[in-house]
Homo-oligomer: A and B are copies of this chain.
């Protein structure tokens, strides 16, 4: 990794809000586990904290009563569990416990080192009685050994000799965070965890816990190693264990405790305890330094695959790297899970997977790390039966309808008009499956898993829409913009269905030609069905308003009054927190890019003039109350050559979490926005598009920058793109030569190509 890879803050605020925010900002995760960055020693008495450790895809069921029962409504949700607290380490210097809230904090800082894959905290502290110590704490969740979380806790005595005592805890009876007043986190406290056992075996603390309803088990193991002699005593009480380590420290001496935690869960392995034992043994087999080295090597590769740099704006460059790093921390490393809306950094949205994955986060992996992208498709394949069942619940006779929000495949939407009614989730999953194919041409995977998804989602469109005056209409669905719900012919949805149907036909043809017909046979897909797909695709109704020359968001969008923005106080945004949904529905007002998103992902459905007019129209009525919005506006502004706008929208999105712009980063990072940030650079400024006809670029350069670069993988070849003020340089880093299109002209990329910059969108 080049350039700055460290995000650091100094002179830590000890205000409660900042502490909770930093729990998120500096959390450690690897896609399997996530641990929020709480202080090992805890906060001041009475301070609020979301002290959580999570396993991706590990959940319990929770009752979700409907105020009014209606047929088929969801009354049980899944929720990602806080499974354990192994963060606790308390240190006593003589008889004085270390606390940031007592004595004097002389120096303090926290950092995230994205090249090394660790976070840290450094404090110079003077105790009430005058003992000065430097405390350095380093944490890692390993990308190489996924179940492993380590805390390296070092104390240096600066001016004293004394006893030193560490109390390291391992707590199984934890709870999820809840807040009855915030719709974005769980509103109730449930008892999710059932203690099974807690105890020591050969110096390792094991805690085994069952979930109360989902029938799952988690085992965590903790081992403490002191890097000098010490007296260990073990204590088990209730569903927790405590290890006390007594030793001595001398002036200028450094004493280090390393705390290893490994996680094992029954989603992945039936015998969790055995798995925890073997993972602990594996962790112990090499030194901590070796673990750090492996982490560094993994990240070297990651940053090399990405190689995104922005020249001329270090803050933005750092923020963009932070965002990519968080995507890596969040993305599933196996097929049992996906990417939650908040990564593994918090409990916002209860660890559910949404369309955010496919439309905002997966593109980053599709372009830089296709294997991780394939995992994400494989996860969707693993819940395809759930989606078939969900389609039945929604009344359908054929096809699959993916749940709007889920962990294990069942729908978790409490309010279906802005949940299950978002049928575009089907088109989104198809889109990302197709994008994976376009980036890799991995037809084997399509034959095994991808095509079945695309076929079954296509079938659902056929069972949802109907012909009216010769055109295929899709009624009573909700588009991405939740400020109107249950509408007819949402433009985005129809365009998405059209693309889905198109590719169902294409995959059918490609698989037939290749003789890889297992999916076709498995689901009994007939020629007649495929012909019907094609007919619906060709006759898909895409609303268009002659007068304005734009695509209306849905059939009735334009007949409504425009929201009275002028008389809406600033503190009434986001509107959803201040107005009854029915009132919002009645106006032309968009929470986020909807038709404009369609103009990006399904750009070939309209000519550039329509897109230009649509962009201008929707820009005026969009509040960007969703974090998924500005990045898309940035991309389409780039496409239209609106460079200032592209840059302004990009800036808003890049720093969302680092600057807590939405005031809720404490509940977790905004992973989708982070992916959108990447897209705004690569798809937006870089003008990249993946189409069946090939790979396209149309680079532009914000005038605030001197240049930028990134690498992508395309059909097994690695391509580097460097955009400068006069020209763009395309380099084949490795792999076979490829045809690329730059400003719509085709070139053969064999070594290096230098293409003069052109004005985009003119």
**Contacts A485-B486, A580-B395 given: A68-B413 contact, CB under 8 Å?**
yes
How many angstroms between the C-alpha atoms of A693 and B476 in the bound complex? 42
Indicate if the CB atoms of B421 and A582 lie closer than 8 Å: yes
How does the 8 Å CB contact mask read for A380-406 relative to B, with 1 for contact and 0 for none?
A: 000000000000011110000000000
Stretch from A92-100, A130-138, A158-166, A553-561 that touches the partner:
A553-561
Task: Count copies of this chain in the complex.
Answer: 2
Shortest A215–chain B CB gap in Å is 23
Residues of chain B lying within 8 A (CB to CB) of residue A579 = 71-72, 395
Residue A577 CB within 8 A of the other chain: yes
Q: Residue A580 contacts which of B64, B75, B393, B577 (CB distance < 8 angstroms)?
A: B393
Q: Does A762 contact B (CB under 8 A)?
A: no
Q: Determine the distance from Cα of A584 to Cα of B419 in the docked complex, in whole angstroms.
A: 17
User: When A475-B560, A559-B468 are in contact, do A578 and B71 touch as well, CB less than 8 Å?
Assistant: yes
For A188, give the chain B residue with the smallest CB separation. B65
Q: What are the residues of chain B within 8 A of A583 when measuring CB–CB?
A: 72, 394-396
Indicate if A415 sits at the interface (CB-CB under 8 A).
Answer: yes
* A71-B581 in contact (CB<8A): yes
Residues from chain B with Cβ under 8 Å of A73 in the complex: 67, 580
Interface assignment of A254: CB less than 8 Å from any CB of chain B = no
User: Which single residue of chain B is at the shortest CB-CB distance from A585?
Assistant: B476
Contact call A394/B65, Cβ cutoff below 8 A? no
- Contact present for A475 and B183 (CB under 8 Å): no
- Judge whether A752 is part of the interface by a CB distance below 8 angstroms: no
Cβ-based interface call for A616 (8 A): no
Contacts of A556 in B (CB 8 A): 475, 488, 555-556
CB distance from A169 to the nearest CB of B (A): 35
Across the interface, which residues of B come within 8 angstroms of A419, CB to CB? 68
In angstroms, how far is the closest chain B Cβ from the Cβ of A563? 11
Does A15 interact with chain B (Cβ within 8 Å)?
no
Other-chain contact of A560, B70, B466, B576 (Cβ < 8 Å): B466
A420 within 8 A of B: yes
Q: How many residues of A contact B (CB 8 A)?
A: 51
Kindly state whether residue A724 has any CB partner on chain B within 8 Å.
no
Q: Are B394 and A582 in contact (CB under 8 A)?
A: yes
B466 and A561 within 8 A (CB): yes
A:277-315 near B, CB below 8 Å: none
Is A74 among interface residues, defined by CB-CB distance under 8 A? yes
A69 at the interface (CB under 8 A from B): yes
Determine if A473 is an interface residue (Cβ-Cβ < 8 Å): yes
| B68 with A475: CB separation less than 8 A | no
User: Nearest chain B CB to A21's CB is how many angstroms away?
Assistant: 23
What does the 1/0 interface line of A160-189 toward B look like (CB < 8 Å)?
A: 000000000000000000000001000100
* Interchain CA distance A475-B476 in the complex, whole Å: 15
| Cα A10 to Cα B78 with chains together (Å) | 54
In the complex, what's the smallest C-beta–C-beta distance from A90 to chain B, in angstroms?
38
* Residue numbers in B under 8 Å from A72 (CB-CB): 579-581, 583
Q: Are the CB atoms of A71 and B582 closer together than 8 Å? A: no
Q: Which of B66, B68, B183, B586 contacts A69 (CB 8 A)?
A: B183
Measured in the bound complex, the distance between the Cα atoms of B464 and A396 in whole Å is 34
Cβ contacts under 8 Å, A473 to chain B: 559
Which residues of A, 64-118, contact B by the 8 Å Cβ criterion? 64-75
A195 within 8 A of B: no
> A560: which B residues are within 8 A, CB to CB?
466, 468, 475-476
Q: When chains A and B are docked, how far (Å) is the Cα of A579 from the Cα of B556?
A: 26
Is A761 on the interface with B (CB-CB < 8 A)? no
**Nearest CB in chain B to that of A469: its residue:** B559
Chain B residue with Cβ nearest A421: B582
Point out the residue from B70, B559, B585 that lies within 8 Å of A415, measured CB to CB.
B70
Cα distance, A417 to B269, chains bound together (Å): 44
A716 within 8 A of B: no
- In the assembled complex, how far is the CB of residue A84 from the closest CB belonging to chain B, in whole angstroms? 29
Residue of A72, A464, A582 with highest tally of chain B CB at under 10 A: A582
Partner of A66, one of B395, B414, B416, B475: B414
Pair B67/A414 contact, Cβ less than 8 Å: yes
The smallest beta-carbon distance between A655 and chain B, in angstroms, is 28
Task: Write 21 A-B pairs (CB below 8 A) sorted by A numbering.
Answer: A65-B65, A65-B67, A67-B67, A67-B414, A67-B415, A68-B413, A70-B581, A71-B576, A71-B579, A71-B580, A73-B580, A394-B580, A395-B580, A395-B584, A417-B417, A464-B586, A466-B560, A468-B559, A476-B585, A486-B486, A555-B555
Q: Residues of A at under 8 Å CB distance from B? A: 64-75, 183, 187, 393-396, 413-417, 419-421, 464, 466, 468, 473, 475-476, 485-486, 488, 555-556, 559-561, 576-586
The 10 tightest CB contacts between A and B, nearest first, are A395-B583, A68-B414, A67-B414, A72-B580, A68-B415, A69-B183, A466-B561, A476-B585, A476-B586, A468-B559
